[in-house]
Amino acid sequence: MGQSLFLNPLEMVPVLISYVIISIISLLLIYKKKMNRKITIIILFLSILIPGLIFGLSMHPVFASQQIFIFIFNITRNPAMISRILPSIVIISIVLAVFVVSTLIFGRIFCSYACPLGAAQELISNINFKNKVKKSKYAVSLPNKVTNSIRVTFFITMIVTSITWGFALFSIINPFKAFSIFQNILNPVVLIVPILILVLILISSIFIYRPWCTILCPFGTVAWLTSRFSFFKLRRNDNCTKCQACEKVCPTSEAFINSNKSRCYLCNRCVEICPANAIEFDKNK
């Protein structure tokens, strides 16, 4: 995933199409209650493979958001650049707006299944480890106040450094670039740091549910703010017996009745475990 402001729209199209297809398929499966663990794992693998490894993540909402802030820095320093940069920024802004609007309608469906990094973390969380790491004293559950403080601080810092100094803070810890192995096969040195960051995230995923998504991801911060207002959510219906089975398996504690679902990744664990078929992906009634 490059950091150039001069995007080639043709490079964005394949990965964006793959995002849309994966998201739509996932939404339909969840809505029809056809999603299960095996299908989930298949979709997660496809997300890692297609938009990730094959297309090299040529476009991602995190990349889009930072480019807009860098654009502001550039035109304030050199207004003459606007004619050259504006077409790319308009495209980036439209794409980013679509991502944000999708969270307002369907919640975090992109983060859940279409984002390759999110898919990799979710995949690890679905592994049944033979050792007792997953549910032992070594498993880590970070308080919401801690994760929210870190993510907001990082997001604000990214905005300020981009607009004030034109400094691409995210590019320093860009784990998404690790997926562009085939695109950088002749220059593998540029992937050393991204791959190390990605490995660290994946190892952390053994102990923390989606550590990148819940702690640092800039788009994850936006989705955390917007998805609480989403039109469609996983909701309990009148069949609920209040057995609390869903609450016990939810990795983000979003299965509680009064939860706003801002951290719900539509992992479907609650739907699968419910003995009364009382959870459905539905609009607010």
Q: What are phi and psi of 90, to 5 degrees?
A: -60, -45
Dihedral in degrees, nearest 10, Cα atoms 106, 107, 111, 114: -10
pLDDT value of position 47: 98
pTM: 0.90
pLDDT value of position 64: 82
Q: Using CA atoms, how far apart are residues 245 and 227, in angstroms rounded to an integer?
A: 24
pLDDT, tens digit (0-9, with 9 covering 90-100), for 185-216 = 888 888 999 999 999 999 999 889 999 999 99
Contact 250, 270 (CB under 8 A): yes
pLDDT, tens digit (0-9, with 9 covering 90-100), for 250-266 = 999 999 988 999 999 99
Closest listed residue to residue 66, CA positions, set 152, 161, 149, 148: 161
Q: Using CA atoms, how far apart are residues 19 and 51, in angstroms rounded to an integer?
A: 7
Q: Does 69 have pLDDT greater than 60? A: yes
Q: How would you classify residue 264: left for phi > 0, otherwise alpha for psi between -120 and 50, otherwise beta?
A: beta
pLDDT, tens digit (0-9, with 9 covering 90-100), for 232-247 = 999 999 999 999 999 9
Contact 150, 216 (CB under 8 A): yes
Contact 123, 206 (CB under 8 A): no
pLDDT value of position 85: 80
Q: Does 272 have pLDDT greater than 90? A: yes
Residues in the chain: 285
